[in-house]
């Protein structure tokens, strides 16, 4: 399968007190949560539940890289931008970034590679509904 890229999906992000550390900046590990939330919005929570319940298919992180350029702080209103590359029938690469509205470069960038497994944690192909949702859902914001 050749690499297939979708359009950018945008998810709104509000920074709360609980997200910050002693310095007032967002704690670095929270960006993984923000990226996870954006992926869930893109794929659809109901579909993720259905896949696990009915088909026994779930997502796991295979590899993750983060680059930090600028801290976010309490009260910031930001957005997570997600661009998906389906590099094979087994792996989707989510290129994700956190942006201030109107900024010229992202604050944080991440590359999260996901694969699907069955209930016995064996690798399985990405379900057709997921590939379709990535193509269709990337045109929507949420």
Enumerate the active-site residues. Answer: 21
CA 28, 24, 11, 33: dihedral to nearest 10 degrees?
Answer: 30
Q: What is the 3-state secondary structure (H, E, C) of 4-69?
A: EECCCEEEEEECCHHHECCCCEECCCHHHHHHHHHHHHHHCHHHHHHHHHHHCCEEEEEEEEEEEC
C-alpha closest to that of 117 among 60, 69, 70, 73: 60
């Amino acid at each position: 399968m050749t690499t297939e890229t979708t359009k950018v999906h945008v998810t709104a992000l509000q920074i709360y007190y609980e997200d910050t550390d002693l310095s007032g900046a967002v704690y670095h590990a929270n960006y993984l949560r923000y990226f996870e939330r954006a992926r869930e919005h893109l794929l659809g929570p109901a579909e993720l539940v259905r896949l696990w319940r009915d088909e026994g298919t779930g997502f796991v992180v295979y590899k993750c890289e983060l680059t930090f350029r600028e801290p976010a702080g309490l009260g910031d209103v930001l957005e997570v931008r997600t661009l998906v590359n389906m590099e094979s029938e087994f792996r989707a690469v989510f290129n994700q970034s956190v942006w201030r509205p109107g900024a010229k470069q992202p604050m944080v960038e991440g590359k999260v590679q996901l694969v699907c497994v069955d209930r016995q944690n064996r690798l399985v192909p990405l379900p057709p509904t997921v590939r379709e949702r990535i193509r269709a859902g990337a045109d929507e914001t949420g």
